[in-house]
Amino acid sequence: MNLHLQNKVAILAAATDGLGFATAQQLLAEGAKVAICGRDEQRNRVAAEHLAATYPADHILVQACDVTNRQQVDAFVQAAHTKFGQVDIVITNAGGPPAGTFETLDASAYEKGFQLNLMSAVSLIHAALPFLKQSDAASILTITSRSAKSPIPNLFISNVIRPAVIGLTKSLSQELGEYGIRVNSILPGWTKTERTVYLLQKRAEKLGVSYEACEADVIKSLPLKRMGEPTEFANVATFLVSPAASYMTGVMLLVDGGDYPGF
């Protein structure tokens, strides 16, 4: 299938590793140009070198940016538009909030989670919107979590904040449809990333068991009996933002190996 992504320009937040980085790679493989950002200069440098080793350097922009800083987000979006001359795709992403329960997390965790996972998406979309309106294939994708559909133990802040991003996504799909801008979300489940390792370590500590036992218990509960690979997420994300999915908007798509038990 031709996804019609040749020379389309995608901006991906917090995409120097994990799901975002895998998606950037897949978009480049389909002929798109990508701008990615991250807070850590070393990771940015490694990501840039990794991408440039396989894909054309003039198709890649890697810039330092803290997604909770509106000025830095604005500068990142402007840099992408300056380099590539257009913006067609925006993929919001951010590191997850700290693990914990209602009793173990203090009040500041809520504000941090709000800024990190909701307002970072708002800022990126707001900054890119004027450029998206000029595109003939505009698409926005928010990366959320299966926790937006069903709470995950020991992820209290994520359980509280992620549904707000779903509300943002659905509302924007209705408001921006008149401009031809599609807005969807992917809700990933257990996938092999650094974030997953962190979450399982915290869960193991809370339960007083080994990391290996905790991981095995999670895998046993999954219908496919394995975690997902970042490339499996990236394949779905790349299709969903592409013109090949031109009549899909307002969709909250689970990519969780069947973990969510509802319909």
Average pLDDT over residues 86-108: 94
Pull the structure tokens for residue 192. Answer: 């092999």
pLDDT band of 1, cuts 50, 70, 90: confident
Q: What type of residue sits at position 31?
A: G
3-state secondary structure of 223: coil
Which pLDDT score is estimated for 132? 98
The Cα 159–Cα 166 span in angstroms is 12
Among positive and negative, which fits the CA dihedral 211, 162, 235, 90? negative
Average pLDDT over residues 205-227: 94
Q: What share of the chain is helix, strand, coil (3-state, %, to 5)?
A: 50, 15, 35
User: With 0-12 CB in 10 A as exposed, 13-18 as middle and 19+ as buried, what is 4?
Assistant: middle
pLDDT band of 18, cuts 50, 70, 90: very high
pLDDT band of 227, cuts 50, 70, 90: very high
Average pLDDT over residues 160-181: 98
Among positive and negative, which fits the CA dihedral 15, 51, 79, 181? negative
pLDDT digits (tens, 9 = 90+) for 111-151: 999 999 999 999 999 999 999 999 999 999 999 999 999 99
Pull the structure tokens for residue 105. Answer: 């997390």
Average pLDDT over residues 49-74: 97
Strands (E), 15-78: 33-38, 60-64
Give, in degrees to the nearest 5, the angle at Cα 255 between 251 and 257. 140
List strands edge to edge, sheet with 252-255.
60-64, 33-38, 9-12, 89-92, 139-143, 182-188, 252-255
The Cα 25–Cα 54 span in angstroms is 9
Helix (H) or strand (E) holding 191: none
pLDDT band of 96, cuts 50, 70, 90: confident
pLDDT digits (tens, 9 = 90+) for 68-87: 999 999 999 999 999 999 99
pTM score of the predicted model? 0.95
Domains of the chain plus CATH, in order, are 9-189+229-255 (3.40.50.720)
For helices 211-221 and 194-207, give the axis angle rounded to 10 degrees.
110
Residue 254 Cα to chain centre, angstroms: 13
The Cα 173–Cα 190 span in angstroms is 26
The Cα 218–Cα 259 span in angstroms is 10
Pull the structure tokens for residue 90. Answer: 């925006």
